[in-house]
């Protein structure tokens, strides 16, 4: 903990003290950010931590997905039990194929915030360097700030039990230098309902404050049933991989949020060996969650008209969020179509390859026959390339969009929370008004014995009103901060993923060139 | 609407004495008008160079008259080009003709690709004829190339004359005929087995190639939709995010073009090659049918002669008949052997040429993609 700068260690779960927190955040002062005008950091600013700007404040949602390219036919990562904990993160990217696997998600938390991932943690040299290098600013920031690290990986899906009572158990591994944890590296096994249970707990506590809570991955009856029933085909392996990756991204987003990281439930989730079984997660299944979010949206829509905003930042921002969600849905649909067509192309190429091989086998001219077999092999390689590209299409692009569509839903929930708090304030104010009127009536009716009660009531409600006013101020402030941070993270996340995706395309095209270049002399050799 | 398409042919114009190409095609409503351009040093032609407009039906007429010609029974008749198939674009063309609606870039590109394909296949047909010592002298072929008027009238007359009799006869012959014939000639025995086997495999390969090409084109279309959706999302945005989205949309748009080109080049060079040889194999099989029929006729004439001798009636006639059948059969066998041998060589040359061209094009396109992607990644990272 080389604290060379004025960094205050994160305040402990005392969420009332929002202002103290805000002082310790690395400030976006230099960021070319489209701040909606207001300076939300009202407290005295501490000196900027680094001499340069800190573009990756690493706020809530930046994350590097851990796209573990396990062979879709394997359900586990084949991890050996006697392997060191540290190696887990290497093993998590095991079973590489011809193309790269993208890097594993790393979170590096400097004080209460986080920044992008760290090269030294990624052991595998095959991984694309671009995802893994930091900007010079990030490096400088690390140098001078308190270096707290937290890396999470979700690996080793294992089926426990049989038949309809079976479930998948996932290994959640943490590697950290944060002092609040008991160990530096540790892992636990969790099942899907545990993740949902965590969401429920976090949500209950933090959403009232206006925080944007990352939504958990969706339940899938169809997907899980196939797994339970023991269907050992590629589609159930794909489902497990998809879920594993989604769970990992979910946890990474949770710990990237400074307040959530402080939450003891989160710590317990990561550390504690046995968790009590989470019940009542039905409400949090895919459709249930969606319904909740939609209700929130409706409530907000009804209320927005009544709310008298001092500036219409909230109104217009909510509108923006809703629009963006729609646009992302359409984009997601287009990407989904691409994934499917690419998979089709993959299987059609495989079929064609076999057909060309057959043709080559009956061809009487021996040089042409050989060339045709070579062509069949080229097409076979192309099939593999298409498959890997489809994988990238899905995990880099489609899942990103799906995540953000749900995150935007969570943002809407956050606005709804603010609405609720406002509503509570309105109700208290009107109750206070009624109490005052009641008092006035009593005075007029000259009933002194009831007057004291009336006065007590008024006092009670006056203090409630002022409490709720403070609450509303605070929620307003938090929501604003959260949204701005979310937007920055979203921009960064998208940019990273777009670059990663383009790199996957680039890789595929490189391989294509090589395949065809290898074939060319064969074609020329036909005589 | 005129679409000029540069021909992408398998170059059969080896002999400068008669050089034919289709430099452009006009797409009107749902008819395609091909410009057939001839350059010749042969004295049998009236002029050294001329161009005429021909429709698909004219090509079919020419093909049919050649098939019906008894003289050519021992030759592999170049397969007729398939009818231009525009599917969706056809309806658009109709609408365009009526002055309504306009084509999207996508539809236009698809039409252009179809046109490229159809020009290639019509051109190859003519070039096969011009490069063959017997076909190039065909009177109808010359008329086709030279006659500067519409051929519609002639086409109608031809139909009335032949009624498609011979063609139907050949078409109805089935494989049982050739496989059933007792083959004395080793060469033809081998050819028969090879052609039957090859024919089914190449048909299969063609079908699979078509499916693959279609999937490839679907992927290119998806890039287009993604690009559009990205632009829509960017339009609504007002932050630095917007630039990234726009850049990404641009990349997808450019990638689409490359991917589309890759798919259509693979189609032109590989799928079309396979399609063509599926038809050519059929033409070779047709030759075998005709020879098998001639053999059957000869065997029948032998039987007839024996019967006549027994009865002592019409012997001379039967002898004459038998002699003619034998002559015909020998002629078919002799020219058939030559044709099938040169067919082998032709096939190998065509495959070689197309595979090389396709590979070179795919490499070129993939390299384009590589530099496009590298450039875009640089720009996105530096922002």
Residue A405 has pLDDT above 80, yes or no: yes
**CA–CA separation, B281 and B79 (whole Å):** 9
Q: What Rg do the C-alpha atoms of chain A give, in angstroms?
A: 28
A381 to chain B, any CB pair closer than 8 A? The answer is: no
Q: What is the pLDDT of residue A3?
A: 35
DSSP conformational letter for A192? H
Q: Are B121 and B83 in contact (CB under 8 A)?
A: no
| Out of A142-146, B148-152, B174-178, B358-362, least confident range | A142-146
Q: What is the pLDDT of residue A131?
A: 33
B381 to chain A, any CB pair closer than 8 A? The answer is: yes
Q: Do A526 and B205 touch (CB under 8 A)?
A: no
Nearest to A512 among B212, B351, B366 (CB): B366
Residue A309 has pLDDT above 70, yes or no: no
Under the banding of pLDDT at 50, 70 and 90, the label for residue B180 is low
Residue A129 has pLDDT above 50, yes or no: no
Helical packing angle, A313-362 and A366-392, nearest 10° = 160
What is the average pLDDT score of chain A?
73
Q: What class does CATH assign to B15-158?
A: alpha beta
The nearest alpha carbon in chain B to A525 belongs to B352
Smallest CA-to-CA distance from A168 within A93, A230, A214, A253 is with A230
**CA–CA separation, A61 and A400 (whole Å):** 11
Q: Are B310 and B203 in contact (CB under 8 A)?
A: no
Q: What is the pLDDT of residue B160?
A: 59
B241 to chain A, any CB pair closer than 8 A? The answer is: yes
What does the pLDDT average to over B120-133?
92
Tokens of B222: 């998806």
Q: Do A513 and B233 touch (CB under 8 A)?
A: no
Under the banding of pLDDT at 50, 70 and 90, the label for residue B43 is confident
Q: Which residues contact A7 (CB under 8 A, 6 or more apart)?
A: A24, A46, A49, A111, A145, A146
A490 to chain B, any CB pair closer than 8 A? The answer is: yes
A261 to chain B, any CB pair closer than 8 A? The answer is: no
A365 contact residues in B (CB cutoff 8 A): 344, 347-348
* A148-160: strand order across its sheet: A113-115, A107-110, A148-160, A167-176, A185-191
Q: What is the pLDDT of residue A288?
A: 57
**CA–CA separation, A324 and A332 (whole Å):** 12
Phi-psi region of A272 (alpha: psi -120 to 50; beta: other; left: phi over 0): beta
Handedness of CA A428, A434, A438, A443 (dihedral sign): positive
Which of B240, B242, B271, B376 has the most A C-beta neighbours within 10 Å, making it the best mutation to test the interface with A?
Answer: B240
DSSP conformational letter for A151? E
Neighbours of A230 (CB within 10 A): 11
Q: What Rg do the C-alpha atoms of chain B give, in angstroms?
A: 27
Q: Do B348 and A527 touch (CB under 8 A)?
A: yes
* Number of helical H runs and strand E runs in chain A: 14, 5
Which of A334, A353, A369 has the most B C-beta neighbours within 10 Å, making it the best mutation to test the interface with B?
Answer: A334
Q: Are A169 and A84 in contact (CB under 8 A)?
A: no
Residue B315 has pLDDT above 80, yes or no: yes
pLDDT tens track for A423-452: 888 899 999 998 888 888 888 887 777 788
| Out of B107-111, B275-279, B327-331, least confident range | B107-111
B221 contact residues in A (CB cutoff 8 A): 341
pLDDT tens track for A453-464: 888 888 989 999
DSSP conformational letter for A396? I
pLDDT tens track for A79-115: 333 433 334 443 333 222 233 333 333 433 333 333 3
Residue A233 has pLDDT above 60, yes or no: yes
Nearest to B363 among A355, A364, A517 (CB): A517
**CA–CA separation, B122 and B114 (whole Å):** 12
Q: Are A70 and A77 in contact (CB under 8 A)?
A: yes
Q: Are B49 and B40 in contact (CB under 8 A)?
A: yes
Do B194-382 and B15-158 fall under one CATH topology?
no
CA distances from A293 to A209, A296, A400, A413 (A): 17, 5, 19, 6
B245 contact residues in A (CB cutoff 8 A): 494
| Out of A218-222, A258-262, A394-398, least confident range | A218-222
Q: Do B240 and A491 touch (CB under 8 A)?
A: yes
Q: Are A270 and A181 in contact (CB under 8 A)?
A: yes
pLDDT tens track for A330-351: 999 999 999 999 999 999 999 9
Return residues 270-329 of B near A (CB < 8 Å). none
Tokens of B139: 């009177």
What's the maximum distance between 2 C-alpha atoms anywhere in chain B? 106
Q: Do B229 and A499 touch (CB under 8 A)?
A: no
Tokens of A524: 């020329």
Residue A137 has pLDDT above 80, yes or no: no
Q: Do A498 and B367 touch (CB under 8 A)?
A: no
**CA–CA separation, B94 and B31 (whole Å):** 10
What's the maximum distance between 2 C-alpha atoms anywhere in chain A? 119
B238 to chain A, any CB pair closer than 8 A? The answer is: yes
Q: Do B359 and A364 touch (CB under 8 A)?
A: no
Under the banding of pLDDT at 50, 70 and 90, the label for residue A356 is very high
What does the pLDDT average to over B354-376?
95
Write phi, then psi, for B38 (nearest 5 degrees): -120, 140
Is the reported ipTM for this assembly greater than 0.95?
no
Return residues 304-343 of A near B (CB < 8 Å). 320, 323-324, 327-328, 330-331, 333-335, 337-338, 341-342
B189 to chain A, any CB pair closer than 8 A? The answer is: no
Residue A293 has pLDDT above 70, yes or no: no
Q: Which residue has tokens 């004459």?
A: B320
B361 to chain A, any CB pair closer than 8 A? The answer is: no
**CA–CA separation, A450 and A435 (whole Å):** 12
Neighbours of B190 (CB within 10 A): 13
Q: Are A22 and A41 in contact (CB under 8 A)?
A: yes
**CA–CA separation, B205 and A352 (whole Å):** 6
- In angstroms, the separation between the Cα of residue B289 and the nearest Cα of chain A is 21
Q: What is the pLDDT of residue A85?
A: 38
B230 to chain A, any CB pair closer than 8 A? The answer is: yes
Query: CA torsion angle for B49, B51, B55, B56 (degrees, to 10)?
Result: 40
Nearest to B236 among A323, A363, A503 (CB): A323
Q: Do B240 and A499 touch (CB under 8 A)?
A: no
Nearest to A338 among B204, B226, B230 (CB): B226
Helical packing angle, A313-362 and B186-235, nearest 10° = 170
Under the banding of pLDDT at 50, 70 and 90, the label for residue A465 is very high
A320 contact residues in B (CB cutoff 8 A): 236
Q: Do B225 and A345 touch (CB under 8 A)?
A: no
Q: What is the pLDDT of residue A389?
A: 95
**CA–CA separation, B306 and B318 (whole Å):** 9
B373 contact residues in A (CB cutoff 8 A): 502-503, 505-506, 509
**CA–CA separation, B276 and B288 (whole Å):** 19
Tokens of B15: 């002999």
Under the banding of pLDDT at 50, 70 and 90, the label for residue A143 is very low
**H-helix or E-strand spanning residue A170:** strand A167-176
Tokens of A328: 């992302």
Neighbours of A514 (CB within 10 A): 13
For residue A208, how many C-alpha atoms fall within 13 Å in the half-sphere facing its CB?
10
- In angstroms, the separation between the Cα of residue A495 and the nearest Cα of chain B is 7
DSSP conformational letter for A398? I
Smallest CA-to-CA distance from B127 within B12, B247, B241 is with B12
Chain pair A-B, CB pairs under 8 angstroms: 168
Q: What percent of chain B has pLDDT over 70?
A: 84
β-partners of residue B273 are: none
Q: Do A498 and B238 touch (CB under 8 A)?
A: no
Domain boundaries, chain B: 15-158, 194-382
Smallest CA-to-CA distance from A18 within A500, A489, A481, A521 is with A481
The fold for domain B194-382 equals: Substrate Binding Domain Of Dnak; Chain:A; Domain 2 (1.20.1270)
Write the secondary structure of chain B as one string of H (helix), E (strand) and C (coil).
CEECCCCCCCCCCCCCCEEEEEEEEEEECCEEEEEEEEEECCCCCCCCEEEEEEEHHHHHHHHHHHHHCHHHHHCCCCCCCCCCCCHHHHHHHHHHHCCCCCCCHHHHHHHHHHHHHHHHHHHHHHHHHHCCCCHHHCHHHHHHHHCCCCCHHHHHHHHHHHCCHHHHHHHHCCHHHHHHCCCCCHHHHHHHHHHHHHHHHHHHHHHHHHHHHHHHHHHHHHHHHHHHHHHHHHHCCCCHHHHHHHHHHHHHHHHHHHHHHHHHHHHHHHHHHHHHHHHHHHHHHHHHHHHHHHHHHHHHHHHHHHHHHHHCCCHHHHHHHHHHHHHHHHHHHHHHHHHHHHHHHHHHHHHHHHHHHHHHHHHHHHHHHHHHHHHHHHHHHHC
Q: Do A491 and B380 touch (CB under 8 A)?
A: no
């Amino acid at each position: 903990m080389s604290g060379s700068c004025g960094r205050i260690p994160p305040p402990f779960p005392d969420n009332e003290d929002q202002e103290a927190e805000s002082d310790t955040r690395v400030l976006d002062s230099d960021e070319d950010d489209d701040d909606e005008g207001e300076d939300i950091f009202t407290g005295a600013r501490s000196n900027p931590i680094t001499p340069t700007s800190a573009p990756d404040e690493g706020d809530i949602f930046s994350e590097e997905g851990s796209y573990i390219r396990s062979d879709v036919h394997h359900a586990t990562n084949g991890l050996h039990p006697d392997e060191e904990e540290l190696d887990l993160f290497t093993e998590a990217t095991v079973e590489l194929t011809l193309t790269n696997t993208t890097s594993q998600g790393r979170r590096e938390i400097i004080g209460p915030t986080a920044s992008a991932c760290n090269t030294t943690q990624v052991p595998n040299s095959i991984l694309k360097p671009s995802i893994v290098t930091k900007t010079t600013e990030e490096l400088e920031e690390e140098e001078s700030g308190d270096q707290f690290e937290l890396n999470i990986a979700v690996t080793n899906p294992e089926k426990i039990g049989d038949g309809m009572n079976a479930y998948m158990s996932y290994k959640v591994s943490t590697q950290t230098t944060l002092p609040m944890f008991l160990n530096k590296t540790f892992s636990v096994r969790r099942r899907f309902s545990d993740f949902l249970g965590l969401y429920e707990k976090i949500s209950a506590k933090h959403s009232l404050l206006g925080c944007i809570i990352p939504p958990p991955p969706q339940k899938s009856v169809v997907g899980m049933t196939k797994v339970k029933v023991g269907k050992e085909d590629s589609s159930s392996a794909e489902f497990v991989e998809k879920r594993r990756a989604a769970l990992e991204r979910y946890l990474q987003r949770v710990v990237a949020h400074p307040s959530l990281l402080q939450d003891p439930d989160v710590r317990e989730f990561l550390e504690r060996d046995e968790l009590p079984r989470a019940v009542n997660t039905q409400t949090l299944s895919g459709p249930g969650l969606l319904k909740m979010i939609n209700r929130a949206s409706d409530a907000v829509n009804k209320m927005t008209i009544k709310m008298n905003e001092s500036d219409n930042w909230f109104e217009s921002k909510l509108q923006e969020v809703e629009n963006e969600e729609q646009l992302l849905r359409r984009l997601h649909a287009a990407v989904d179509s691409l994934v499917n067509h690419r998979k089709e192309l993959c299987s059609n190429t495989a079929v064609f390859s076999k057909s060309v091989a057959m043709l080559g086998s009956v061809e009487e001219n021996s040089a042409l026959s050989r060339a045709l077999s070579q062509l069949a092999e080229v097409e076979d390689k192309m099939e593999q390339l298409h498959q890997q590209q489809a994988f990238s299409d899905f995990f880099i692009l489609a899942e990103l969009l799906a995540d953000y569509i749900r995150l935007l839903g969570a943002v809407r929930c956050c606005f709804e929370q603010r609405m609720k708090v406002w509503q509570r304030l309105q109700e208290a104010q009107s109750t206070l008004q009624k109490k005052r009127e009641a008092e006035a009536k009593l005075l007029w009716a000259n009933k002194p014995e009831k007057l004291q009660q009336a006065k007590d009531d008024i006092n009670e409600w006056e203090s409630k009103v002022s409490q709720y006013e403070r609450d509303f101020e605070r929620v307003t402030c938090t929501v604003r901060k959260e949204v701005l941070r979310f937007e920055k993270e979203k921009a960064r996340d998208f940019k990273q993923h777009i670059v990663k995706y383009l790199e996957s395309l680039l890789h595929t095209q490189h391989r294509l060139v090589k395949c065809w270049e290898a074939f060319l002399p064969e074609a020329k050799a036909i005589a | 609407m005129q679409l000029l398409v540069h021909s992408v042919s398998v170059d059969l114009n080896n002999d400068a004495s008669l050089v034919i190409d289709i430099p452009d095609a006009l797409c009107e409503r749902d008819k395609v008008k091909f410009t057939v351009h001839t350059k010749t040093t042969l004295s049998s032609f009236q002029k050294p160079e001329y161009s005429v407009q021909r429709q698909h039906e004219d090509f079919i007429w020419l093909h049919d008259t050649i098939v019906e010609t008894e003289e050519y029974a021992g030759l592999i008749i170049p397969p007729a080009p398939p009818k231009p198939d525009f599917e969706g674009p056809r309806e658009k063309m109709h609408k365009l003709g009526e002055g309504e609606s306009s084509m999207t870039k996508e539809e236009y590109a698809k039409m252009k690709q179809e046109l490229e394909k159809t020009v290639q296949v019509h051109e190859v047909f003519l070039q096969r004829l011009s490069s063959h010592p017997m076909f190039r002298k065909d009177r109808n072929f010359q008329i086709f190339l030279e006659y500067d008027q519409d051929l519609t009238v002639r086409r109608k007359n031809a139909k009335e004359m032949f009624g498609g009799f011979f063609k139907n006869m050949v078409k109805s012959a089935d494989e049982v005929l050739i496989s059933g014939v007792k083959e004395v000639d080793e060469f033809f025995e081998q050819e028969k087995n090879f052609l039957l086997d090859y024919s089914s495999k190449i048909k299969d390969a063609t079908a699979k190639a078509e499916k693959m090409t279609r999937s490839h084109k679907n992927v290119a279309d998806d890039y287009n939709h993604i690009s559009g959706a990205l632009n829509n999302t960017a339009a609504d945005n007002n932050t630095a995010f917007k630039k990234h989205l726009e850049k990404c949309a641009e990349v997808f748009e450019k990638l689409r073009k490359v991917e589309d080109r890759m798919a259509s080049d693979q189609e032109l060079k590989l799928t079309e090659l396979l399609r063509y040889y599926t038809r050519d194999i059929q033409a070779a099989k047709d030759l075998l049918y005709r020879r098998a029929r001639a053999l059957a006729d000869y065997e029948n004439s032998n039987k007839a002669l024996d019967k006549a001798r027994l009865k002592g009636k019409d012997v001379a006639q039967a002898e004459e008949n038998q002699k003619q059948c034998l002559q015909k059969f020998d002629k078919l066998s002799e020219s058939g052997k030559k044709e099938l041998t040169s067919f082998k060589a032709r096939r190998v040359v065509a495959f070689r040429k197309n595979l090389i061209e396709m590979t070179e094009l795919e490499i070129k396109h993939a390299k384009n993609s590589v530099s496009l992607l590298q450039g875009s990644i640089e720009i996105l990272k530096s922002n």
